[in-house]
A and B are shown apart, each in its own frame.
Chain A
Amino acid sequence: DTEVTQTPKHLVMGMTNKKSLKCEQHMGHRAMYWYKQKAKKPPELMFVYSYEKLSINESVPSRFSPECPNSSLLNLHLHALQPEDSALYLCASSQDLGLGTDTQYFGPGTRLTVL
């Protein structure tokens, strides 16, 4: 059983909608990640939060806005998305020992379709 949960599992939204993806981890981890994965491609890193602070932003367009309310929760706010943003969005977490040696554990993902 995964200890990283994501909601919703599926999301369909129009280009003018505002929606949010949610991620929660129950492992006491202090680092959380958002990835975007297109079909038949590996995951691409979007954002990393370490101890609730944004530590990595991979030049993601501003229509994606991450938020980390506490060490267990991670949100991704979506606004004015484009059809090419349709993808599987994966959340992950890791211990964050500050050594760069962590194992990332992934959630089941949210399949996003932008119409």
Chain B
Amino acid sequence: AQKVTQAQTEISVVEKEDVTLDCVYETRDTTYYLFWYKQPPSGELVFLIRRNSFDEQNEISGRYSWNFQKSTSSFNFTITASQVVDSAVYFCALSVPSRGNNRLAFGKGNQVVVIP
């Protein structure tokens, strides 16, 4: 079975602090895809990143960075120098192609509150 665990439910930070969101996944498949989505209060899920299981390179996009470690089954997300606009719920998700569909297994989400 596929499972994603995001342990921290709500994280509050003061503006300009860094915040790291942990994502631990479980799957027996060797080929899989990991995603992060951002859901601001408006409701839309905004796609942030997709990473396949064969690409362990870390990625940086502006103030966002991702650390993928297969050894610990983790795909952590860091926001550097947080801003109020970063306040949102962030979901980590997993899909496994061997299932023959694009079903996403979502974690419970991390509510990030950035205090000005």
Q: How many chain B residues have a CB neighbour from A under 8 Å?
A: 27
Is B43 an interface residue when CB atoms closer than 8 A count as contact? yes
Please give me the residue from chain B that is nearest to A100 by CB atom: B97
Report the bound CA distance from A31 to B100 in whole Å: 13
B101 touches A100 (CB 8 A): yes
Query: Would you give the 0/1 interface string for B92-110, flagging 1 where the beta carbon is closer than 8 Å to chain A?
Result: 0001111111111011110
Q: Could you name 30 residue pairs across A and B whose Cβ atoms are closer than 8 Å?
A: A31-B102, A41-B108, A42-B91, A42-B107, A42-B108, A42-B109, A43-B45, A43-B91, A45-B103, A48-B101, A48-B103, A56-B101, A90-B43, A92-B45, A96-B102, A99-B97, A100-B97, A100-B99, A100-B100, A103-B47, A103-B50, A104-B47, A104-B102, A104-B104, A105-B47, A106-B46, A106-B47, A108-B42, A108-B44, A109-B43
Closest 10 CB pairs of A and B: A100-B97, A42-B106, A106-B45, A109-B43, A108-B44, A102-B102, A103-B50, A101-B97, A88-B43, A100-B102
Residues of B in contact with A (beta carbons under 8 Å apart):
33, 35, 37, 42-47, 50, 52, 91, 95-104, 106-109, 111
